Structure 1
Amino acid sequence: MLKIASRPLTVHDYREFPEGPPYCQLIEGDVIMSPSPDLFHQDILLNLARIIGNYLEKNPVGKVAIAPSDVHLTDLNVYQPDLYFVSNARKSILSAQGAEGAPDLVVEILSSKTARFDKGIKREIYSRTGVKVLWIIDPTLREIQVYHLTESADVPAATLGEEKEIESALLPGLRISLKEIFRQ
């Protein structure tokens, strides 16, 4: 990840950037550029987006989006999580530019270049700005850490291995096998 700003930038500055690539995020006023993720990361993202997308076609309880789609959390923080979900009750935060506020569910898939941000400052900001649930997917360990951010941003509510299933009250009735998520 390359840091390219000499002063803290704001959402206004960020919106003046040309559309990517290269893709970047605004993290505490710093522009952080990200290289393209590896193919396994993309397999995981596509598997999860397909599963949730198919579920939402039959159960239209909200909207799912995948990167690159901006999530404007504060004046100094604009992230592009790998996947996010916004419930119908909160769909007013959605705009043509992405989400203008905290999604209900955020999914971050770790890579060597982004893990320290995803597990550190981004997790803290997600918690402070109202994200309800955060899934941090570790492709190397083939596990998912589930954070209920309204309860604790520091300790995962669960760590699920590849033999388990994941579910969320935000997506009622959907149970996803981690084997299906990690399928290549």
Structure 2
Amino acid sequence: MSVNLAELAVSRERYTYEDYCRLPEGSPYQLIGGELVMTPSPTPYHQMVAMKLELKMAGFVLEKGLGIVLHAPLDVYLDDTETYQPDIIFISNERLSIIEEKRVNGAPDLVVEILSPSTGYYDLRSKYKVYEKKGVREYWIVDPQNKSVQVFCRQEGKFVLDQEVEQQGTVRSRVISGFAVEIENIF
């Protein structure tokens, strides 16, 4: 049964996954820190960058038989107050069991967030900390405005900046062995 957001807002100051599931299918929200955060539709340029990167990543992963690459909108449940819709995720063959009928239950191996004005703060701050805490092994922050990519790798429970490329150059994944992309091919 779906409920409209106004009804939820009256009943709760802090939302849970149960509340989130009561939203109508396709509602433009993510559950971040117990708040329902509206995420408007991305711009065409954002979607072009996402599509180019996803095609390269998914093609490589499928060809090598390494796992699966999925894209938003797709719920990634991290705990009762944190359910995100990352732009692109990679899940290795060994961890495919986290894919459930209605959600991904747990941290993907690799997450790509493509910054946009409406969600950049969450991607760089709130979600970054939760991804780090919940065990995402590699986190890519793609900035279409600056044509840059930062790659953070988890070491001893903390994200460490592994690579940063702006305008041109190659970014390599440490989690998807052998995968690299020239960033001028995605912007």
| TM-score, normalising length: structure 1 | 0.91
In 2: Cα distance, 1:40 partner to 1:71 partner: 24
Give a deviation string over 1:9-60, Cα, whole Å, max 9, x none.
111121122111x311000111011111111100010001111121122111
CA drift at 1:144: 0.6
Match of 1:16 in 2: 22
In 1: Cα distance, 2:48 partner to 2:134 partner: 29
Instruction: Report which of the two structures shows the higher radius of gyration computed on alpha carbons.
Output: 2
In 2: Cα distance, 1:150 partner to 1:33 partner: 32
User: Runs of at least 4 residues of structure 1 off by over 3 A?
Assistant: 150-153
Q: Which residues of structure 1 form unaligned runs of 5+?
A: none
Contact 2:137 2:175 in 1 (8 A): no
Report SS of the residue matched to 2:97. helix
Report SS of the residue matched to 1:97. coil
Q: How many residues are aligned here?
A: 179
CA drift at 1:124: 0.3
Q: Which has the higher contact order (CA 8 A, sep 6+)?
A: 1
Does 1:7 pair with 2:20?
no
Identity among equivalent pairs (%) = 37
* Amino acid in the other structure paired with 1:15: C
* Amino acid in the other structure paired with 1:147: F
CA drift at 1:86: 0.6
Match of 2:139 in 1: 134
| TM-score, normalising length: structure 2 | 0.90
Contact 2:62 2:68 in 1 (8 A): no
1:21-170 pair list within 5 angstroms = 22-151=27-156, 152-153=158-159, 156-170=161-175
Report SS of the residue matched to 1:26. strand
Q: Superposition RMSD on alpha carbons, in Å? A: 1.8
